[in-house]
Structure formats: structure tokens, C-alpha cells
């Protein structure tokens, strides 16, 4: 099993990025060994379609689970179509999110989050 965690940095000590489609990084983790690969998300600069691009990137990596803050409508549909389960993690590190997931204590995302509409998030134009 591989888990993709959205992250603000490129290692297990980075905070979970609350955005899926526009996350800075995806940390692909083997939850048994904690071996990981950090992937810079090219979708952060997309004018639109970041959720779909990010979902396709993750599904191409044989990921079974995504841990993030929230998932917008396009990303949700892309991940769901690929059979990838989504789980919510709050303000924790990637390593803490993985451990909490392994204990079965993360809530599965069954509801679509808000769309971010291009680069107009968090004051960026």
C-alpha cells in the first residue's frame, strides 16, 4: 500500500498541506517502512484544473490512500474514479498523519470541499 500526503515541505516533518490540488508537495509513503518519495506539485501554478492534474499524478503512482485537508470537486471525482480513498488530517506533520491513519483515527472524506478557482486562493492573483 502507498499513501500520498499533501505537504508544505519535502519530508516527513513537513506540515500536512490543507489543499489537495494546490498542495506544494505530495509525500508518497510506505506506511510500514516509512520510506518516502517527495514530489513537487506542478499543479500549484495551474490557472485551472489543478485538482484534476494532481489527482491524475497521484493515481499514476499506484496510491491507495490520500491524506489531506480537503479535496475540491474536480480532484474528488478524479480520485474517486481511480478508487483512491481520501482521509482528512488537520494541523499535523506528515509523519503524525501517517501514524494516526495506521491507528484508524482519521476521518474518511466523503464530502467534496470548496473549489479554489485558479490562482485566486489566499490572496494570490
CATH number of the domain at 74, please.
3.30.420.130
* Beta-ladder partners of 70: 19
Residue 34 lies in a domain: yes
The whole-angstrom separation of Cα 111 and Cα 29 is 24
Return the number of other C-beta atoms located less than 10 Å from residue 5's C-beta: 29
Q: How many domains does the chain have?
A: 1
Q: How far is CA 12 from CA 50, 57, 60, in A?
A: 23, 20, 21
Residue 124 lies in a domain: no
Residue 121 lies in a domain: no
Q: Tell the residue number behind the cell numbers 485558479, with chain if given.
A: 118
Which residue range(s) make up the domain with 48? 3-108
Residue 125 lies in a domain: no
The pLDDT value given to residue 108: 96
Q: Which three cell numbers stand for residue 119?
A: 490562482
The whole-angstrom separation of Cα 99 and Cα 2 is 14
Query: Does residue 110 have a pLDDT over 50?
Result: yes
Residue 52 lies in a domain: yes
Q: Where are the alpha helices (DSSP H) in the chain?
A: 50-59, 73-81, 94-102
The pLDDT value given to residue 112: 73
Residue 62 lies in a domain: yes
Q: How does pLDDT run across 9-52, given as a tens digit for each residue?
A: 999 999 999 999 889 999 999 999 999 999 998 766 655 667 88
8 A C-beta contact, residue 59 and residue 72: no
Residue 113 lies in a domain: no
Would you say the pTM of this structure is higher than 0.85? Answer: yes
Residue 47 lies in a domain: yes
Amino acid at each position: 500500500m502507498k499513501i500520498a500526503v499533501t505537504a508544505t515541505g519535502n519530508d516527513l516533518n513537513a506540515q500536512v498541506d490543507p489543499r489537495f490540488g494546490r498542495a506544494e508537495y505530495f509525500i508518497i509513503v510506505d506506511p510500514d517502512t516509512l520510506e518516502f518519495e517527495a514530489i513537487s506539485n506542478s499543479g500549484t501554478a495551474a490557472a485551472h484544473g489543478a485538482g484534476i492534474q494532481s489527482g491524475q499524478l497521484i493515481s499514476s503512482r499506484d496510491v491507495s490512500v490520500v491524506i489531506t485537508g480537503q479535496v475540491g470537486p474536480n480532484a474528488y471525482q478524479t480520485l474517486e474514479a481511480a478508487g483512491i480513498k481520501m482521509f482528512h488530517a488537520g494541523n499535523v506533520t506528515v509523519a503524525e498523519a501517517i501514524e494516526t491513519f495506521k491507528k484508524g483515527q482519521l476521518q474518511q472524506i466523503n464530502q467534496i470541499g470548496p473549489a479554489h478557482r485558479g490562482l485566486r486562493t489566499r490572496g494570490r492573483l
